[in-house]
Amino acid sequence: MSVNVSRGVVAVSLMMVLSGCNAGGLGSGLGLSSSQPAAATPAATPGQAAFVQGFCPQIALRDGTSFYRSYVRGKDGDAEQVIFQASLADTTRSCARTETTLTINALVQGRLVAGPQGKAGTINLPVRVTVMDGDQEVFNEVEQYPVTLADVNLPTQFIYSKAVNVPGNVSGTTRVTIGFEQPKKK
């Protein structure tokens, strides 16, 4: 008989806890009250409807553009005349959508190393970001991104970050590519 009573007590306790899950406030079924909304609930910006983000385009490094090397003028290709070399590696992104716009926050990890002719200082790296929706280009921009090389004997790591706004109706085939804009061959 005590086994049946124990099962009944467990069943009633379980039902009380589960009913708390449907009772409006966080923890209200357990006798806890909360005057603040749950932290995971995003706040909508006034005038904008909140959307659940289901699509965020992948980011890839553009073929052949994940490194950039600068030489002393007229000495291209001579390893002893390298001023600096920069490279891009890992990428990540996050997205936010409104009724009309998809904002892609692209991040790329990079590294800058001085060459034999390098000097400490700030170097502007030409970074190109392109967004393609199928065969249609919806964003393309080159930015001179400043990176400071404090010591020619130590490499510098940096994070390139770019917020890109594209039309909110882009398709699931949208892709983002990032790389260094290579100097024109003369």
Q: What is the mean pLDDT of the chain?
A: 79
Lowest mean pLDDT among 26-35, 67-76, 80-89, 154-163: 26-35
pTM of the model: 0.68
* pLDDT digits 0-9 by tens, 122-172: 999 999 999 999 999 999 999 999 999 999 999 999 999 999 999 988 998
Sheet holding 59-61, edge to edge: 59-61, 174-180, 121-133, 136-149
Classify strands 101-114 and 156-167 as parallel, antiparallel or unpaired: antiparallel
**pLDDT confidence band for 186 (50 / 70 / 90):** low
CA distance 1 to 23: 33
**pLDDT confidence band for 63 (50 / 70 / 90):** confident
* pLDDT digits 0-9 by tens, 43-55: 445 555 555 456 8
Q: CA torsion sign, 135 to 162 to 179 to 175?
A: negative
Among the listed residues 117, 114, 59, 121, the one whose alpha carbon sits nearest the alpha carbon of residue 86:
114
Residue 119 burial class via C-beta count within 10 angstroms: exposed 0-12, middle 13-18, buried 19 and up = exposed
Contacts of 184 (CB under 8 A, 6+ apart): none
